[in-house]
Amino acid sequence: MTTWIETATGPVTAGSGDQTNHINYYLDRESGRLTRQGRDLMLVAEDDLRRLAQRFVPPRDFGAATERLTRPGMVLLTGDPGTGRRAAAKMLLHDLGPDGGRFEELHDDPEISLSAQIAAGGRYLLDLAATDEARFRSVQPELGSVRAALEQHEARLVAVLPRHHEHLLRDEFGDLVVGIGRPNGSRVLKQHLRADGIDFREGDLGMPELADYLASAAMRELRELSRLTRLASEADRGGGFSSWLTQAINARKERGAEVAARVRDKRDAWSRALLLSTAMLTGCRSDAVFHAATLLLSVVGHTPDGTPALEQADLAERLTDIGVGVDRDQRVRFDTLAYDEAVLTHFWNNFPDLRLSYRTWIDKLVRLRLLGEADRGALVPRFAAHALRVGRPDDLVHLVERWAERTESGRPSPHLPLAAEALTLGLRHEEHGGHFRSQIYSWSRDQSLPQDLALVVVQVCADVLAPDHPDQALVRLHHLARRGRGVVRAAARDALLGLVERDRRQLRRLLDRLAGEQASPHWNGTDAGLFLELVASPPFTDRMRADRRLLGDTTVRAQLVKGWGSVLSGRGRDVWGDGARAWLDSSVSDARPLDILVEASRDDGDALGGLYVTARDWAHEDPARAATRDSLLRRIDRAQGFEADESTTEGSQEMQR
């Protein structure tokens, strides 16, 4: 029987080979806060789509789906698992627009319905492939609302249906279904090889052992075959394409059986612990691997046999015995391509009772002083890949919480970047990403959330969640801004304001949340201040960057009136004065901010008086501002039922003061 190495779903790797997660965090030891290094996340997401486009081979009937999307609305993709349904959905949306092909992915959220996430001209992906029967039945009434919202907003959506539940689809959606077939396997592999920079001739793919594989392998398996071919070429520069491809095929087909045989042959705990430690720490120093094996034996409760150390086989002999090579820098690697991945797969698959111990072991490993920053950085995705592959996302959640705990001396944990990396890997996992979004939602509403964990959540929301799920990022950041204290509240508000400054739809959504919750205790505690920061931000007040369409939007105007009315009534000028001055500045070229301010305080004489005094003081600083002050005064007079002569208005107001 052929045994295949299993690979994880999502952008994680189980072993050797390059890993690009795009985000590197480092800890600012002075402030105790995380900082991200790297490119703008929007650009990274666009690059990911471009890389997919380079490798993509359209499946059968892809053109029919493309034709459906020439009009606003929804396409429901169906097809067998492994045919590249999700990739096809992404490319359908990518091909629609010139702006880098950006789209958002819709997901269930406790505070936002699917239809409420639809915006004018938007492009959306809804992946239902892994949903169970109950969820697939319950989501269909929502699909009706989504369909209406798409037509209303001239937006487009591609949904991937669960193959095993397609018979449950309501008849009303039947005309939206497009079935796609498996792309040509040979063409797919060629595209991946070219994108990976591998030179080959057409005849090189004619080897008999490859034919059946190309006819039946899933798309992700062909992508993995190309990756292994590239790794073989990097390790064997003197070889040729046929040799590299043969090594890759053997790695996919035979490694699992080879590892199983070796584990059966090595019954002693030391050999097995060393085998697993080498796989987990491939590329690390041999002494670190030795101590990792010792830690593993301790965690699983192994009792040493009492043989004196000098009578035991030395480390070099033990490593050779399990097929591990040591280079001149004393770094360990298996001698066979992809052997490390096969070892990890074997131990996670065949020792299920040790999975909790693996989690404890990894927590101890990252604290091993012999490991460098790069070693720890490689360790986390290897563990994450297999924990998620076998359905244990909470193992990763536990480690995020552990690595965010403060040291015994009360300083921020040096492992905060690893906590952020682990959370990032969870969020980006295709199958378990929803679990981590739900976990972040729970954390964001927890008033007892530890400060450092909260800062990790804020950073990951801003960097990882916001580019593809801005609606969900906004909800979670808003809760953190409300419930956090001190540095957490400041970080969450900064991230929230940064999000809405980049995305006008999210600005409108935040305004709607703030305007709709003025009766809640959060308004007096946090939301009023957040509103004032929002209305003083560049989209409203920067003369060069302000979006004047916002003030012309009827809904936005009503929200602004409601918000300003709440902050002007019952609060002193020391609270709202700076925000009002910012709006006076922006009123020099556009009088609509004055109209909103006066309408907001129309029924509150004290608020109107406070507005005038603020404008008077503001105008005294620069004579050129007098016209704006007088314009505000005329509006105040009209609001109070006076139509005073413009030449005497200011004097009469001064007398009243």
Distance from chain centroid for Cα 94: 19
CB 454 within 8 A of CB 488: yes
Same domain flag for 281 and 250: no
Residue 92 lies in a domain: yes
Report percent pLDDT > 70 for the chain: 88
Residue 276 lies in a domain: yes
Residue 440 lies in a domain: no
Of 155, 179, 203, which one is at a domain's C-terminal end? 179
Q: Provide the token pair at 44.
A: 């990274």
- Give the tens place of pLDDT for each residue, 497-525: 999 998 888 999 999 999 877 656 667 67
CB 181 within 8 A of CB 63: no
CA–CA gap between residue 196 and residue 14 (Å, rounded): 19
Of 214, 238, 265, which one is at a domain's C-terminal end? 265
Contacts of 130 (CB under 8 A, 6+ apart): 162, 431
Same domain flag for 368 and 294: yes
Question: How far are the Cα atoms of 36, 190, 367, 454 from residue 410, in angstroms, in the given order?
Answer: 23, 55, 17, 16
> Does residue 347 have a pLDDT over 80?
yes
Residue 20 lies in a domain: no
HSE (side-chain half, CA atoms, 13 Å) at 129:
19
Same domain flag for 320 and 219: no
Residue 546, pLDDT score = 63
More confident residue, 515 or 185: 185
Mean pLDDT score, 618-637 = 94
> Does residue 487 have a pLDDT over 60?
yes
Contacts of 423 (CB under 8 A, 6+ apart): 396, 400, 436, 440, 456, 457, 460, 464
Report percent pLDDT > 90 for the chain: 63
Residue 3, pLDDT score = 32
Of 324, 354, 373, which one is at a domain's C-terminal end? 373
- Give the tens place of pLDDT for each residue, 301-339: 987 776 777 767 778 888 888 888 888 889 999 988 999
> Does residue 23 have a pLDDT over 70?
no
- Give the tens place of pLDDT for each residue, 457-466: 999 999 999 9
> Does residue 647 have a pLDDT over 70?
no
CB 538 within 8 A of CB 546: yes
Give, as one character, the DSSP assignment of residue 60. Answer: B
Which pairs from 234-237 meet CB under 8 Å and 24+ separation? 235/337
- Give the tens place of pLDDT for each residue, 384-416: 999 999 999 999 999 999 999 999 999 999 999
- Give the tens place of pLDDT for each residue, 222-242: 999 999 999 999 887 668 899
Residue 581 lies in a domain: yes
Amino acid at 463: D
Phi-psi region of 73 (alpha: psi -120 to 50; beta: other; left: phi over 0): left
CB 161 within 8 A of CB 74: no
Domain encompassing residue 280: 268-373
Residue 532 lies in a domain: no
C-alpha dihedral (268, 270, 275, 278), degrees to nearest 10: 180
C-alpha dihedral (106, 108, 114, 116), degrees to nearest 10: -100
CA–CA gap between residue 649 and residue 630 (Å, rounded): 8
Strands 73-78 and 33-37, bridge-based pairing: unpaired
- Give the tens place of pLDDT for each residue, 53-72: 899 999 999 999 999 999 99
CATH value at residue 131? 3.40.50.300
Count Cβ atoms within 10 A of the Cβ of residue 629 and give its class: 0-12 exposed, 13-18 middle, 19 or more buried.
Answer: buried
CA–CA gap between residue 469 and residue 454 (Å, rounded): 19
Q: Say how many domains are in the chain.
A: 4
Same domain flag for 589 and 624: yes
Mean pLDDT score, 623-636 = 94
Beta-bridge partners for 77: 160, 178
Beta-bridge partners for 325: 333
> Does residue 38 have a pLDDT over 90?
no
More confident residue, 542 or 613: 613
More confident residue, 235 or 21: 235
Same domain flag for 107 and 205: no
C-alpha dihedral (424, 426, 428, 434), degrees to nearest 10: -130
Same domain flag for 188 and 122: no
Same domain flag for 161 and 242: no
Same domain flag for 259 and 331: no
Residue 16, pLDDT score = 36
> Does residue 108 have a pLDDT over 50?
yes
- Give the tens place of pLDDT for each residue, 142-184: 999 999 999 999 999 999 999 899 999 999 999 999 999 999 9
DSSP letters along 386-412, please?
Answer: HHHHTT-HHHHHHHHHHHTSPPTTSPP
Same domain flag for 163 and 194: no
CB 14 within 8 A of CB 385: yes
Residue 408, pLDDT score = 92
Whole-angstrom Cα Rg for the chain: 30
Same domain flag for 147 and 104: yes
Residue 140 lies in a domain: yes
pLDDT band at residue 588 using 50, 70 and 90 as cut-offs: confident
Q: Provide the token pair at 466.
A: 């916001």
SS3 448: coil
Same domain flag for 158 and 68: yes
Contacts of 494 (CB under 8 A, 6+ apart): none
Query: What is the separation, in whole angstroms, between the first and last Cα of the chain?
Result: 94
Question: What is the overall mean pLDDT for the chain?
Answer: 87
Same domain flag for 551 and 654: yes
> Does residue 545 have a pLDDT over 70?
no
Residue 533 lies in a domain: no
Amino acid at 222: L
Best mean pLDDT range from 105-119, 343-357, 632-646? 343-357
pLDDT band at residue 44 using 50, 70 and 90 as cut-offs: low
Q: Which of 552, 520, 3, 537 is nearest to 253 (CA)?
A: 3
Residue 185, pLDDT score = 94
Q: Provide the token pair at 192.
A: 């991946």
Mean pLDDT score, 65-92 = 93
